[in-house]
Chain A
């Protein structure tokens, strides 16, 4: 049983004159991991950032087409940006914990969304850190600065921070590119756990990673989706010559 969580219809994105995304049509399935692959500058990160409207922060960006999450157009005027970003969380390429304590990092999201009771916050912090497989490592140092953690721990902290606001969808923009292999493995294992509850979209430069963690894969090239399919199909029998060239490492 697979439900469409996000439906993208005829999406166009322009940076000023530059046509960065062309005719993007894709359905992202609930409780699955969808990987976006492609060479640098192909638009996959840009596309990811349209899903929680982070591109709104950049000047001269123009967007046409529709993105429906649970059937609701997120570019509709009536759509509440704060609410959207609460439901669609994001984990960035470089771990970006705030220069606060571990506890404050996790409780920041719930707090800005109005949760004040200490007991409730404690509960959220513990639950989020457990889900991000970080609880055992940090439970005795919750009031220590988050920046004192290792890179891999920081990234899992960012994942926990994102989980704390209870999103449905998690967007990950090359979440392991700044991490060592062991930390990468931990994050990848985590994805396996998380997809039971969340819909995950992950941008990655690492083909093996896409193969390991994702259920669906879309191949981006020059602002277009060249091919999208089940990951096992993309990697075993790609239909497009360009996809084949890319995944076999002939370019990119």
Chain B
């Protein structure tokens, strides 16, 4: 009897140890992968910043580029990047949010809706150079917008539309039905319910979609060269061509014009992207202020 219990307990202990080993290995693996991700991120950002930040000074920000970017700063390029991003986001956000509202709140599950969903997925998967070609043929030539911020903005808007639609849709779906019922039961119309209850409750998801869109727009090169051109001047209107930072980095690097200006521009680009993310988070949190349990 005593013998039996002994064997029994030792068996349990043995098993337990095995489970612990498995768990430990899984733990180590997960930590290692997480660590690798962070290392990859930090080394890319670090490498660019270490090579670029030392060339940053006030002149670099306020001077216009000289001799194709070999000398001078990137003032006009910063302006062009911001201008183009704002135009594309300005076009894509209202369209994307409205499309998502239609898909989630109004559309019944039918063939048309399936087609729209399928279409947005396809749109998300198309290589950017194809968008560039389309934008070039359609906006630049056919509609006669030429190489301009407008052509580039419209092209980029099409590219980031799926991101905004998808994240808005997901955010809207997360709003509990009970919120909608509560609003409708007070006599609100469907539209009032969407505008005053559904959208404010899903604003953080929508903002996330816009951030991702900005990220994609500001990092895009191929489609921008084909539609917004690569002019070095400060754009004075939406119909002027421009050059974005990504395009500038690409051209400087591929034509071997100046290593130091390449890294300096890349540093500014990275810092700007980080700032946009940070700012959007602040804005998102501001919207969320009243909506979260404190």
Interface residues of A (CB under 8 A from B): 52, 54, 57, 81-86, 89-90, 92, 94, 96-101, 104, 108-109, 112-113, 144-145, 147-148, 158, 161-162, 165
Contact = CB atoms under 8 A, between A and B. Distances in A.
25 contacts: A54-B184, A57-B181, A57-B184, A82-B187, A85-B184, A85-B186, A85-B187, A92-B181, A94-B178, A96-B181, A97-B182, A98-B197, A98-B201, A99-B179, A108-B196, A109-B187, A112-B188, A112-B189, A145-B293, A145-B294, A148-B294, A158-B182, A161-B186, A162-B186, A165-B187
Given A145-B292, A148-B293, A52 B185 contact: yes
Contact of A83 (B187, B200, B293): B187
Contact of A98 (B179, B184, B187, B294): B179
Nearest to A103: B290
Nearest to A59: B108
B176 interface: yes
A54 to B, nearest CB: 6
Most chain B Cβ neighbours within 10 Å, of A57, A98, A165: A98
B11 interface: no
B197 A86 contact: no
Nearest to B193: A112
Nearest to A111: B196
A101 B186 contact: no
B183 interface: yes
A92 B192 contact: no
A211 to B, nearest CB: 27
B293 A147 contact: yes
Name which of A54, A86, A108, A113 has the most chain B CB atoms within 10 A of its CB: A108
B201 A112 contact: no
Nearest to B108: A59
B291 interface: yes
User: Closest 8 A-B residue pairs measured CB to CB?
Assistant: A96-B178, A86-B187, A99-B291, A85-B187, A90-B185, A109-B186, A96-B182, A82-B187
Contacts of A100: 200, 290-291
Contacts of A52: 185
B201 A99 contact: yes
B179 A96 contact: yes
Contacts of B185: 52, 54, 85, 89-90, 92, 162
